[in-house]
């Protein structure tokens, strides 16, 4: 069973529907509640949803009470989506900045590093992007996996752990997004 930590995403219905299509059991957990790593360690995988928080704003970040030490769990795969992606990046010291204007559109994503998360996908696919902040600089131990014309780090991964971040929304990206979610579920088993 997966834990889906809802950080206030606008795509919650799409995420739940996509997980139902993939056929995975999950428990929805409110990201506004205190969620300690010990509780999340019991799940086979964790999805950190999107939301409207700016991770570089300490007061807003305090509203997301998921203890990001969960990213240090060595046996539980984590997939951060949009804000979840930024939480992963921020936890490891990457730079996140506001965009000049919010983005809400389909975009071509280019895979730049092969990874099991993208198994079965071609080197390019269309995905939904909807955000107003972006990861603009990575630090070790993070690796860039995919980019687009509007963002250098559309997908990232921890170099040693199954900790991923996707700036785009696989839950709102049709067949490629479902394939990514299926691949993540496969990594959790």
Burial class (CB in 10 A: 0-12, 13-18, 19+), 42: exposed
Choosing from 82, 91, 107, 182, which is the catalytic residue? 82
The yes-or-no answer on residue 59 being catalytic is no
Cα 104 to Cα 101: distance, rounded to the nearest angstrom: 10
Choosing from 107, 154, 171, 182, which is the catalytic residue? 171
Cα 159 to Cα 175: distance, rounded to the nearest angstrom: 27
The yes-or-no answer on residue 171 being catalytic is yes
Choosing from 85, 169, 182, 188, which is the catalytic residue? 169
Here the tokens at position 183 are 């691949």
- The angle that helices 174-187 and 12-22 make with each other, rounded to 10 degrees, is 60
The yes-or-no answer on residue 154 being catalytic is no
Catalytic site positions: 82, 169, 171
């Amino acid at each position: 069973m997966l834990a889906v930590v809802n950080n206030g995403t606008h795509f919650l219905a799409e995420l739940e529907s996509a997980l139902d299509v993939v056929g995975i059991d999950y428990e929805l957990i409110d990201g506004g509640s205190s969620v300690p790593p010990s509780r999340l360690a019991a799940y086979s995988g964790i999805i950190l949803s999107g939301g409207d928080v700016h991770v570089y704003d300490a007061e807003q970040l305090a509203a997301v009470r998921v203890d990001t030490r969960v990213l240090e769990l060595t046996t539980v795969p984590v997939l951060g989506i949009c804000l979840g992606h930024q939480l992963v990046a921020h936890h490891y010291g990457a730079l996140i900045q506001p965009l000049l204007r919010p983005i809400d559109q389909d975009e071509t994503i280019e895979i730049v590093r092969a990874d099991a998360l993208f198994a079965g996908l071609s080197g390019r696919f269309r995905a939904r992007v909807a955000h107003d902040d972006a990861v603009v600089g990575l630090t070790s131990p993070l690796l860039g996996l995919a980019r687009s014309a509007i963002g250098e780090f559309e997908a990232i991964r921890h170099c040693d752990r199954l900790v991923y971040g996707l700036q785009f929304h696989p839950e709102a990206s049709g067949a490629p997004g479902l394939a990514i979610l299926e691949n993540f579920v496969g990594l959790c088993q």
